[in-house]
Structure 1
Amino acid sequence: MALNGDVCVVTGACGFLGRRLVRLLLEEERLSEIRLIDRQIKLEDVQSFNDCRGDTRVRAYEGDIRDSAFLRRACRGASTVFHMACLIDVRGKVEFSELYGVNVKGTQLLLEACIEENVPSFIYTSSIEVMGPNPSGDPVYNGTEETQYKCAVKFPYGKTKREGEERTLRANGELLLDGTRLATCALRPMYIYGEGCRFLLGHMADGVRNKNVLYRLSLQEAKVNPVYVGNVALAHLQAARSLKDSNKRNIIGGRFYYISDDTPPVSYSDFNHVMMSPLGFHIQDKLPLPLCLLYLLCFVLEWGCAILRPFIRLVPPLTRHLVTMLNTHFTFSYKRAQVELGYTPRYSWQEARKGTIEWLASQLPEIREKIET
């Protein structure tokens, strides 16, 4: 079902995934209005959509996701909220209070704004990290939403994303002020790659510093299934269309969905090599240390940083959680999203790889110049 004539709100609209979703909405739907919410929005951010906006009004709402009055203004009269804004932290750089404030409190305030402003549909961008891997590194092979997994999420980012997701799904069916009910769902994408991925840029910069040799921090057998950003954006659009469909709304409301595509399963480190080998990069054959010693080194680094924390806040370059995540086989199927949301990946692996490599190639000269100077 089309969203024609609707008003959509996208939080985190200037981010990697947010930009792709906004462009897709403008290209695929005849919206009345789309509202971009972010902490900072430049004029060029809004103008970047001029080539595809058509008659849709694009409005910028710059503010803090923890400001309830701001959120109410942004949601007033809206039909669908895509909640993508969050703080991503895989190394423990961000204070937990800040992560919790944005990823949990911000989500709760946004849900409350939807209830107060009679917004009927809410789609939460979750993360594979709400599932794990757990500290034991137990693997998952082609998991589904029914997969039972002993998960004790300890890392702050995963904990806050999990609580944000739980609050979203619990809000499904909440009574709105106009007497109708809120419908919510959550999407759990795998590691998202594509044009604009800052993690790929970071790995490429490290490779440049290491004389065009990429670091290996993942065992080859620890496979994951990355997902292309264009396909993740499409899954969000399909979720919004499904929530608008009265026949599907009661089926998907309150549920979460894994979002992957047909990108071949591969380890994180080897995925970097697949993307960067055409640009002249090689990769280390082995981990810098045997895995057990790598865990021990991380423990010592974490312990040392904890001892010094009352005097100075240091962040270890590598943690046990990150090593576990990078070295656990963790793959999931998108079949339930295909059946219930009508999601089928639009971009093939060949198309996604080609586009990403071309984008990386365009960024490489600037990265080399910065590092060499």
Structure 2
Amino acid sequence: MRAEPGLVYMVTGGSGFLGRHLVRLLAEREQDITEIRVFDPNADPDLGSLNTEKLQVKFIQGNIVDAASVLEAARGVDLIIHTAGLVDVWMKHPSKRIWAVNYQGTQNVLAVCKELGIRYLLYTSSMEVVGPNIKGKHFIRGNEDTNYRIYHEGAYVQSKAAAEKLVLSANGMRVAGGKTLVTCSLRPTGIYGEGNPIMAKVYQTITNFGGRRLRLAGKGVEHARVYVGNVAWMHVLAARALQQTPTIVGGEVYFCYDDSPYLCYEDFDMLLLGPVGVQLSGRTPLPYWALYLLALLSEGLHFLMRPLARKEIIFNRYNLAVITTTFTVRTDKAARHFGYSPLVPWAQSWVRTLDWVQTLAGTHVG
């Protein structure tokens, strides 16, 4: 099944980690799209190679918090995939900036849809709008309908949750031309894959500490991970479904999933970092109270140093709660609603990511 010919897509954050994979996949798979607009503050020169006689990939430099630039970029667009967002797992950015990008930016996108009569909006959310929660309550093989007590803490999680609520509540909203807006939201679990800036930072930090990583998660803790190429593929299929079956997907949320193994963050990352020499210290973690005090100390030092330099808090209480709380997903909602199945199997996802990690390390493991 194909969308109508001659469609123009806009991908906000299209030069980012997920955005780059998504734009490339749209160019490869969606033959009826004639133009993809990459709206991002930063250009990705590699995306220019995707241009063909039938497809134009156009980079538009702009900031999602600038309503006027979003409006100009979206003129003539049929569908927006809104991936732009400020991820702040290490508390580097001020709350005001995070809310501006994640919430106000989404308000700007919705306003543009209304003014220009754009009918389709796909939002990239996060599993963290659900959890893991900071109370340590596990989410085990849950799905989109699982009853789970949500505790939002921190500007990133709160702003993403509020933005998703905006998008979903806008489903069915009247837009210019007497049309109605159709929206849905995708919630990736922990995304990994080549080009992941978080994994690059983790590897750099571990290397600075002699190549050893402290075990934090206890026995039995597991997390859902999903390969970036499969997240991008789900976006491609969801974008089709918004147009073809709006009464099914409109106003819905979907976890992004594939066949990546359920492991704690440390053990999963060791599948990729172990071959380049990273070692995991300890079979069992320190007591939780000790880890909590270390995280609190890390935050305190960061607070004292903040007037001198704004640096990430690599180890903080929120990250500790996420790492030590199980969050795994088992659902087939995306398969039932728009035919999703993973495009890239786990073995290939692992090889692709490992090849990239080896470039970071300057090695190749044959």
What's the TM-score once normalised by structure 2's chain length? Answer: 0.93
- What does residue range 349-360 of structure 1 map to in structure 2 within 5 Å? 349-360=346-357
Q: Hey, what's the Cα distance between the residues in 2 that align with 1:203 and 1:217?
A: 14
> Where does 1:264-283 land on structure 2 (aligned, <5 Å)?
264-283=261-280
Partner residue, 1:24? 25
Measured in 2, the distance between the counterparts of 1:358 and 1:311 equals 38
Task: Report what 1:370 is aligned to.
Answer: none
Deviation of 1:207 after TM superposition, in Å, equals 3.4
- The correspondence for 1:291, drawn from 288, 303, 306, is 288
Range with bigger deviation, 161-170 or 357-366? 357-366
Asked if 1:117 corresponds to 2:116, the answer is yes
Contact (CA 8 Å) 1:223, 1:329: kept in 2 or not?
yes
Question: Residues 335 and 303 from structure 1, CA distance in 2 versus in 1: closer, same or farther, beyond 3 angstroms?
Answer: same
1:47 maps to: 48
The match for 1:369 is none
Spell out the pairing of 1:227-306 with structure 2 (5 A cutoff): 227-245=226-244, 248-286=245-283, 289-302=286-299
Q: Deviations over 1:237-294 (max 9, x none)?
A: 110110111xx21121111111111001000011110112233332112466321211
Distance in 1 (alpha carbons) for counterparts of 2:305 and 2:350: 43
Give the CA deviation at 1:219.
2.8
Deviations 1:11-67 (A, max 9, x none): 00101110111011111112111100001225x2442434xx452011111111112
* Partner SS for 1:243: helix
Is the 8 Å Cα contact of residues 194 and 228 (structure 1) preserved in structure 2? yes
Q: 1:318 is matched with which residue? A: 315
Give distance in 1, aligned partners of 2:278 and 2:311.
Answer: 31
Q: Distance in 1 between matches of 2:262 and 2:362?
A: 29
| Alpha-carbon distance in 1 for matches of 2:158, 2:209 | 34
Look up the SS of the partner of 2:6 in the other structure: coil
Q: Give the aligned length.
A: 362
1:355 maps to amino acid: R
Matches of 2:134 and 2:210 in 1, distance apart?
A: 34
Judging changes above 3 Å, is the alpha-carbon distance between structure 1 residues 306 and 359 closer, same or farther for their aligned structure 2 residues?
A: closer
Query: 1-side partners of 2:312 and 2:30: how far apart?
Result: 44
**Structure 2: which amino acid aligns with 1:225?**
A
Is this contact kept in 2: 1:220–1:266, CA < 8 A?
no
Shift of 1:297: 2.8
- Deviation of the 1:220 alpha carbon: 4.2
One-letter amino acid of the structure 1 residue matched with residue 39 of structure 2: I
Please say which of residues 89-98 and 357-366 is displaced more in the overlay: 357-366
Q: What residue is the counterpart of 1:225 in the other structure?
A: 224
Separation of aligned partners in 2, 1:48 and 1:289: 49
Q: Which amino acid aligns with 1:167?
A: L
Structure 1: runs of 5+ lacking an equivalent: 367-373
Identity percentage of aligned residues: 35
Unaligned runs of 5+ in 2: none
SS in 1 for 2:362: helix
Give the aligned partner of residue 195 of structure 1. 194
Within 5 Å, give how 1:111-190 maps onto structure 2.
111-190=110-189
Larger CA deviation: 90-99 vs 357-366: 357-366
Alignment CA distance shift 1:279-1:167 (3 Å): same
